Amino acid sequence: MKNLIILLLLITSCSTTKKINTEKTAKGIPVMAFENTFYDLGKMKQGETRDLEYKFWNRGDVDLVIEIATTCHCTQLDYPTTPIAPGQSGIIKAHFDSKEKDREELIDITIILANENPENGYPIVEEVKFRFDIE
């Protein structure tokens, strides 16, 4: 029983420390909070197209600016080019065309912010995904 109590205290202690560190590093940067970061399109016929939307909010305390969003040539992206203020939302739209696909695949959409991480000076990078299977 004593070992169980010690284990629970260690787990609680680690969780609390992580939360404090996360809150601390979130100051002065934008934080993209997505409604959904993954779509499973299921089975598709070759040549079908699908439109997806990745809605997000800026949960940080400074404007969020998307420098570029990129993915494979099978998907066209439309994303906000103006700053997203703290508390405001935006949508990244993706138009997927399966005409050159012949098998199941997982597609990554990489979002690079103009904002830099103050801890390392690198741009902030986010990622969302979708998958499909060709019949």
The predicted pLDDT at position 19 comes to 33
pLDDT higher than 50, residue 121: yes
Tokens of 72: 């494979």
Whether residue 18 lies inside any domain: the answer is no
Whether residue 98 lies inside any domain: the answer is yes
- pLDDT-derived band of residue 15, with 50, 70 and 90 as boundaries? very low
* Average pLDDT value for residue range 65-80: 97
Identify each DSSP E strand in the chain by its residue range.
32-34, 38-44, 49-58, 66-70, 75-78, 89-97, 105-116, 123-134
* CB-based contact 111:34 (threshold 8 Å): no
Percent of the chain with pLDDT over 90: 76
Among 75, 80, 81, which Cα is nearest to 94's? Answer: 75
pLDDT higher than 90, residue 24: no
- Tell me how many domains the chain contains: 1
Task: Say which residue, 120 or 52, is predicted with more confidence.
Answer: 52
Whether residue 127 lies inside any domain: the answer is yes
Q: Rounded to two decimals, what is the model's pTM?
A: 0.78
**CATH number of the domain to which 46 belongs:** 2.60.40.10
The maximal CA–CA distance of the chain, rounded, in angstroms, is 62
**Which structural domain, as residue segments, surrounds residue 67?**
29-134
Whether residue 9 lies inside any domain: the answer is no
